Amino acid sequence: MLVEITPKSHDVDIDLIYGKPDNFTGSAIYQRPRCWLHPHTAVLLVRAVDLARRMGLHLKIYDAFRPAEAQWMLWRHLPDPDYIADPRRGSPHSMGAAIDLTLLDAASGEELDMGTSFDDMRPLSWHGDTAVSVTAQRNRTVLLGLMTAAGFDYYRNEWWHYQLFKPRGRYPVLSDSLLAEPMM
């Protein structure tokens, strides 16, 4: 049901933040981090990779499929619906329908300045926030443009979050147990 995304299969960098302790919870959520997406999301990712490549850019993934169990862990740590989807509603991540990512310069491999780090839970991380540098605003706009051109919807409070349009009700919330080798 889910497609594994790897650097080799999809020409992306992968740094699954919740597989390491240096995320906002202070501990690793995924014990065996792997990058998975719903097949519909994976098709759009291929389009986004191609658009980025044409611009001399490369995509770096921070998070993709997030088992329902992981969503509950994040919610218990920060029950703020502005930044963490309430697991009772279902997170698009837990459907394989969302991806968190940034842009790299393809030549240097350096991350582009987005004005904040991933999972910066402040209005400074919102799309269109003008308190970040003009360079960061431009980079966010480039990411937004290529991801929406690829067919993704975005979440206004997080410059890094993109998802399928209206995934709730169209895709089921998935548990870690569906994976042959669970992440949790």
Query: Which residues are the active-site residues?
Result: 158
* Domain boundaries along the sequence of the chain: 3-178
3-178 maps to CATH 2.60.40.10: no
Q: What is the pLDDT along the chain (184 residues), one digit of tens a residue?
A: 899 999 999 999 999 999 999 999 999 999 999 999 999 999 999 999 999 999 999 999 999 999 999 999 999 999 999 999 999 999 999 999 999 999 999 999 999 999 999 999 999 999 999 999 999 999 999 999 999 999 999 999 999 999 999 999 999 999 999 999 999 9
User: What does pTM read for this prediction?
Assistant: 0.97
Query: If you write DSSP's letter for every residue of 151-166 in order, what string do you get?
Result: T-EE-TT-TTEEE-SS
Helices (H), 17-133: 39-54, 68-77
